[in-house]
Amino acid sequence: MSKNDSTQSGFKETISGFLKNRLSKINFTANLIIGVVLLLGFVFIGIFAPYITPHDSEEMYYEHLKEMPSAEFLLGTDRYGRDILSRVMMGTRTTLLIASTSTLIALFLGIIFGATSAYFGGRTDNIMMRINDIFMSFPTLIFAMLVIGVLGPSMVNGIIAIGIIYAPRVTRVVRSQALNIVHMEYIDAAKVGGESSFYIIFREMLPNLWPTIIVEGSIRLGYAILLTAGLGYIGLGPPPPTPDWGLMAYSERTYMFETPWPVFAPCLAIVIAVIGVNLFGEGLKDILLAKGSRKKEAKV
Amino acid sequence: MKNENSTSPEDTARNASTKTPVLSVSGVDITYYSGAVKFPAIRDISFEIGAGEAFGLVGESGSGKSTVAYAVMQYLASNGEIDSGDIAFSGANLMKMSRKELLGLRGLKISMVPQDPLTSLNPSHRVGDQVAEILKIHYKLNRDEAHKRAVAMLGQVHLPAPELTALKYPHQISGGQQQRVLIAMAFCTNPELLIMDEPTTGLDVTTQARILDLIREMKLKHKTAILYITHDLGVVKNLCDRVAIIYAGEIVEEGDVASLFKSPAHPYTQGLLKCIPKTYTHKTQKKLDAIEGFLPNLADLKPACIFAPRCTFAQEQCHQQAPSFIACGENRRTKCYFTEFDAPDDAEEYENLRASSPSKRVLVKADRLKKVYPTKRGDLRAVDDTSFECKRGEILGIVGESGCGKTTMARCIVGLEDVSDGEISYDGNKIGMVRKRSKEMRRKIQMVFQNPEATLNPQKTIEEIITRPLALYKIVPKAKRHQKAVELLETVNLTERYLSRYPHEISGGEKQRVGIARAFATEPELIILDEPISSLDVSVQAGILNLLIDLQRKHHIAYIFIGHNLSVIRHLCNRVMVVYVGRICEVGTPDDLFEPPYHPYTEALLSAIPVVEPNIEQKEIRLQGIMPNAIDPIPGCAFHTRCPRKIGDVCEKNAPAEVEVKPGHHIACHIPLEELAAVNPVFKYGRRYVF
């Protein structure tokens, strides 16, 4: 592999160098392929939802209340006569936006706290981790209710709440990997070389943490989707009429035995999205973090 | 001990000719597959091992020596395949056996001692049970009998208090003891063939010497055939009867140990022997001859002598056609067209390679340095009240077994560890942790690390790594950084091409060279070298040692060189400090250290060196027991628990004072100086050595 033009460092080059190094050798597992296809599908729907929905998601068709799936309404209609497929598609947008943004926030905070805590070690590490433990000891949903209760329900507050909830978990994972790196001799070499702590954490350690962070992010995204739906279900998600999977399942549940599809459709979407994200995460893990293959194989 | 060795080859040769050999490998080819690429890792390897014979297979990393071991065990990696040839065990073809038949053989008739004792023992079972398990499987013994036999076996490998040791878990015993347990496991079924894959590589020389004694003893007792795989020619010379040198998957030379070491025939063997710093040379030294070049790419083999590209004697013929084996002497063969060389008699070309005239000015001074690490059981005193100094332009060596505190001393000096007590001064000014030092101070002290695999950040190119200190300390203006980086690479004998590479694209030796270039980039005055060559192949080691010497002479900077190999230390250093459990035993020039008077510990270290030179007699001193842990306070001399020359209570009660033998040579021992001086030297050599 030739790398002639890598004169400057930086996140972009690191990632591209990383991909260039390994992309040709990647073992594309079924997990990864299914995960990527599902995830890309959801992202596509999320982005283009307003243009591709068969109906307007908020239009009420009064002559089509609580209808079974049909050619016109592929997943049927709800009690107000709204097209469920269109609403699920629009809901994809909300859910993905909340879940992915909050995951990014969690990763951002987690990287900073995790890497710093591991780098300084000793008492600093102890104090930071105990605080971390306190945050982690709250059940996620209750903690989310607490945050939203203080801030008031809105999409932005939902994002902040989920971000804060998952940050300590990301911190743990990043820290554990950073602990392996912080004892490497190249970190000692940087210290002897007189580098600042900031430089060592973000320019020497961080590039080696990306594989862990990417995998952790993709797994965390699955949890974030679940939590987003959960918050929507208990009414702490984005307020109606914004289409939201959790809220849809909640508001239609009274009629579940009569017309199950308005509840099942968003639930099915949640299941598929989470499975897709998890398969993607597992696939990435095999590529990025696998320590040697599962079979005993000689390196040549 | 050495005398036994000299008689055994004849005996075994006689045995081998009359009986079927225990192991016979003939014409074996092994290929590894990686995707669509084929790597013929082993090509046409043949050898035989008779009963009671120790056969050494020597090669550098990547030569395929471990592949041979796994092939014999029929336990190759899943992407490896034996293409042709036969492997026969006592006449039975191992390759045709079923899985079940093999299971019956492995562990019973064929045993293996692996390289890393810590990962080879199960950490959650007691060591006695692990030995007993083998007996239960193969002899169907019941629990008590198996345990009894296991304990007896642990006693046979000289583990202290076998009944108690059997109840311990692997982490509770030392590395040397773990290796003994593995040897006990290997011998407990009285196997006919024992395969040892670098069993002493991770151990200290003193421990290694004792393990080798044990293997030799067990071999004689059980009449076992041993296939001993190693990269260390010294170990082979001390242990084996016959030896084969393997290079890039081919055996290039085979013969009995005594004659092969005396007159190596193949240029590769000669090269390997020249790479090793001599244990015993008089006063002056010769530059080491490194083998230039790299292992060939096995995916792209040409019909030529495999060693030709690196061979200094290579002729046209060598590049045209691969040579086949030629007999050279009794029971010896080599794969070379030219077995008779006019080897230049380079004994006359000695030159003094040690640091040119170190100045009298003290550069670094450690004054009553103490470093303790708090642990749950108490304070671990890694460095215990030691004072030393290093002068400008001097190469100071620090030797000792692992865990003796030598690395901690180095880390205190560079400022990676805070000192607990005492102080370190640089040029008369006190210095602390690296974070608290001035920028100028940080520039002046650099470090080269031990593990080439961890010394460079895997996500950075060589250019980023080398230009970073240039930018940080503004050594050269921005426009000239690239140019300077190229110059630095050239000083460590690498080319501009390396700049754009990532660490995983270069070899271990090259990584270490980049590490040295990085240290030199800041134009320092002192470089700490923490065992920079110990994890490299011998041929690569020689190149790095030469480079370090050249650079030192050019820039007149000071080195503090940490090592455990006294031959290397002797080759390089102006002054040496011998350290034991955080205390200094002896300080002096290397020549002082190699001649009496010795500190008993120095004497033991010297006698544990596996020497490669023929015609050298080495005194045999074996340290018993293990290094005391540095947590419980040791009254008196730190070495008294293992000292073979302990004189009495005074050793246990009072710490010895340093006695000056002559200016610059100090020994801390209670034994009167006259008595220390009266011992025989560890090394005696008959005639002038040959190569």
Q: Indicate whether this model's pTM tops 0.95.
A: no
Judging by DSSP bridges, how do beta strands B326-327 and B242-247 pair with one another? unpaired
Strands (E) across B164-283 are located at: 193-197, 225-230, 242-247, 250-256
Q: Tens of pLDDT along B668-679? A: 999 988 888 888
In B, which residues are within 8 Å of A297 by CB distance?
Answer: 77-79
For residue B577, name the pLDDT band (cuts at 50, 70, 90). very high
Q: Tens of pLDDT along A110-147? A: 999 999 999 998 899 999 999 999 999 988 888 888 88
Count of C-beta atoms within a 10 Å radius of residue A147: 19
Helical H runs in B242-379?
257-262, 267-275, 316-320
In B, which residues are within 8 Å of A17 by CB distance?
Answer: 459, 502
- Among B111, B188, B194, B116, which residue's Cα sits nearest to residue B155? B188
Asked whether the beta carbons of residue B32 and residue A298 sit closer than 8 angstroms, the reply is yes
In B, which residues are within 8 Å of A298 by CB distance?
Answer: 32, 41, 67, 76-77, 79-80
Average pLDDT, integer, range B211-219? 88
Average pLDDT, integer, range B4-9? 44
| B476, B479, B484, B486: CA torsion to nearest 10 | 170
Asked whether the beta carbons of residue B472 and residue A300 sit closer than 8 angstroms, the reply is no
b/e per residue A158-192 (b: at least 16 CB within 10 A): bbbbbbbbbbbbbbbbbbebbeebbebbbbbbbbb
Asked whether the beta carbons of residue A189 and residue B449 sit closer than 8 angstroms, the reply is yes
Least confident of A112-126, B74-88, B159-173, B605-619: B605-619
Judging by DSSP bridges, how do beta strands B616-618 and B683-685 pair with one another? antiparallel
Q: State which amino acid sits at residue B664.
A: G
Between A22 and B367, the more confident residue is: B367
Q: Which residue of B has its CA nearest to A184?
A: B454
In B, which residues are within 8 Å of A177 by CB distance?
Answer: none
Cβ–Cβ contact A191 with B under 8 A: yes
- Distance, in Å, from the CA atom of A207 to the CA atom of A203, rounded to the nearest integer, reads 7
- Distance, in Å, from the CA atom of B388 to the CA atom of B659, rounded to the nearest integer, reads 15
Between B289 and B307, the more confident residue is: B307
Return the residue in B74, B298, B457 with the most chain A beta carbons within 10 A, the one to mutate for interface testing: B457
- Distance, in Å, from the CA atom of B549 to the CA atom of B569, rounded to the nearest integer, reads 12
B285 pLDDT higher than 60: no
- Of all residues in chain B, what percent carry a pLDDT higher than 70? 92
Q: State which amino acid sits at residue A14.
A: T
What's the Cα-to-Cα distance from A170 to each of A214, B37, B399, B670, rounded to whole Å?
11, 40, 44, 59
* Distance in Å, alpha carbon of B439 to nearest chain A alpha carbon: 7
Q: Which residue of B has its CA nearest to A205?
A: B457
Provide the token pair at B425. 């001064």
Average pLDDT, integer, range B329-351? 63
Return the residue in B301, B453, B459 with the most chain A beta carbons within 10 A, the one to mutate for interface testing: B459
Q: Tens of pLDDT along B509-536? A: 889 999 999 999 999 999 999 988 888 8
CB nearest B78 (choices: A195, A204, A296): A296
In A, which residues are within 8 Å of B460 by CB distance?
Answer: 9, 207
In A, which residues are within 8 Å of B461 by CB distance?
Answer: 3, 6
In this predicted structure, what is the pLDDT of residue A297? 53
For residue A106, name the pLDDT band (cuts at 50, 70, 90). very high
Helical H runs in B324-434?
406-414
Average pLDDT, integer, range B11-16? 46
| Radius of gyration of the CA atoms of chain B, in A | 26
For residue B8, name the pLDDT band (cuts at 50, 70, 90). very low
Average pLDDT, integer, range B461-490? 91
In B, which residues are within 8 Å of A119 by CB distance?
Answer: none
- Distance, in Å, from the CA atom of B79 to the CA atom of B64, rounded to the nearest integer, reads 14
Asked whether the beta carbons of residue A17 and residue B515 sit closer than 8 angstroms, the reply is no
Average pLDDT, integer, range B266-277? 85
Q: Which residues contact A78 (CB under 8 A, 6 or more apart)?
A: A66, A84, A87, A248, A252, A262
- Among B307, B375, B238, B332, which residue's Cα sits nearest to residue B59? B307
Length of chain A: 300
Asked whether the beta carbons of residue B472 and residue A186 sit closer than 8 angstroms, the reply is no
For residues B571 and B391, is the Cβ–Cβ distance under 8 A? Answer: no
- Distance, in Å, from the CA atom of B154 to the CA atom of B160, rounded to the nearest integer, reads 9
Asked whether the beta carbons of residue B451 and residue A185 sit closer than 8 angstroms, the reply is yes
Cβ–Cβ contact A295 with B under 8 A: yes
DSSP A73-133: STT-B-TT--BHHHHHHHHHHHHHHHHHHHHHHHHHHHHHHHHHHHHH-HHHHHHHHHHHH
For residues A49 and A41, is the Cβ–Cβ distance under 8 A? Answer: no
H or E stretch including A246? helix A245-251
Average pLDDT, integer, range A8-37? 63
Length of chain B: 691
In B, which residues are within 8 Å of A1 by CB distance?
Answer: 505
Least confident of A29-43, B299-313, B345-359: B345-359
Name the 3-class secondary structure at A199: helix
For residues B310 and B240, is the Cβ–Cβ distance under 8 A? Answer: no
How much is the ipTM here?
0.79
Q: State which amino acid sits at residue B567.
A: S
Residue A280 main-chain phi, psi, to 5 deg: -60, -45
B56 pLDDT higher than 90: yes
A292 pLDDT higher than 50: no
Count of C-beta atoms within a 10 Å radius of residue B518: 27
Q: State which amino acid sits at residue B418.
A: D
User: What is the rounded end-to-end Cα distance, in angstroms, of chain A?
Assistant: 16
Asked whether the beta carbons of residue A193 and residue B461 sit closer than 8 angstroms, the reply is no
Q: Which residues contact B194 (CB under 8 A, 6 or more apart)?
A: B110, B111, B112, B113, B186, B187, B224, B225, B226, B227
In A, which residues are within 8 Å of B454 by CB distance?
Answer: 184-186
Average pLDDT, integer, range B483-489? 92
In this predicted structure, what is the pLDDT of residue A171? 95
Cβ–Cβ contact A108 with B under 8 A: no
What's the Cα-to-Cα distance from A81 to each of A84, A254, A261, rounded to whole Å?
9, 16, 13
B337: left (phi over 0), alpha (psi -120 to 50) or beta: alpha
DSSP B545-613: HHHHHHHHHHH--EEEEEES-HHHHHHH-SEEEEEETTEEEEEE-HHHHHSSS--HHHHHHHHHS----
Q: Which residue of A has its CA nearest to B524?
A: A193
In this predicted structure, what is the pLDDT of residue B576? 92
Q: Which residue of A has its CA nearest to B298?
A: A300
For residue A4, name the pLDDT band (cuts at 50, 70, 90). very low
For residue A237, name the pLDDT band (cuts at 50, 70, 90). confident
B139 pLDDT higher than 50: yes
In this predicted structure, what is the pLDDT of residue B125? 92
In this predicted structure, what is the pLDDT of residue A145? 87
Q: Which residues contact B490 (CB under 8 A, 6 or more apart)?
A: B496
In this predicted structure, what is the pLDDT of residue A168? 94
- Of all residues in chain A, what percent carry a pLDDT higher than 70? 86
Average pLDDT, integer, range B51-75? 89
Residue B597: is the preceding peptide bond cis (ω within 30°)? yes
For residues B605 and B590, is the Cβ–Cβ distance under 8 A? Answer: no
A269 pLDDT higher than 80: yes
Asked whether the beta carbons of residue A300 and residue B451 sit closer than 8 angstroms, the reply is no
Q: Which residues contact B200 (CB under 8 A, 6 or more apart)?
A: B179, B207, B208, B211, B212, B230, B232, B235
* Distance in Å, alpha carbon of B479 to nearest chain A alpha carbon: 13
B327 pLDDT higher than 90: no
In this predicted structure, what is the pLDDT of residue B382? 86
A282 pLDDT higher than 80: yes
In this predicted structure, what is the pLDDT of residue A290? 58
Average pLDDT, integer, range B201-221? 85
| Radius of gyration of the CA atoms of chain A, in A | 23
* A 1-40: CB under 8 A from B: 1-4, 6-7, 9, 14, 17-18, 21
Provide the token pair at B387. 């004072």
Provide the token pair at B469. 């200190």
Q: What is the mean pLDDT of chain B?
A: 84
In B, which residues are within 8 Å of A295 by CB distance?
Answer: 78
Q: Which residue of B has its CA nearest to A18?
A: B459
- Distance, in Å, from the CA atom of B668 to the CA atom of B385, rounded to the nearest integer, reads 13
B625 pLDDT higher than 90: no
In this predicted structure, what is the pLDDT of residue B505? 84
What's the Cα-to-Cα distance from B211 to each of B182, B200, B208, B623, rounded to whole Å?
11, 7, 5, 11
- Which 3-state string (H, E, C) describes B334-364? ECCCCCCCCCCCHHHHCECCCCCCCCCCEEE
Specify burial of residue B123 (Cβ count, 10 A radius: 0-12, 13-18, 19+).
exposed
B370 pLDDT higher than 80: yes
Average pLDDT, integer, range B487-491? 90
Q: Which residue of A has its CA nearest to B413?
A: A192
In B, which residues are within 8 Å of A192 by CB distance?
Answer: 414-416, 434, 442, 445-447
Residue B321 main-chain phi, psi, to 5 deg: -145, 140
- Among A215, A234, A228, A242, which residue's Cα sits nearest to residue A274? A228
In this predicted structure, what is the pLDDT of residue B616? 76
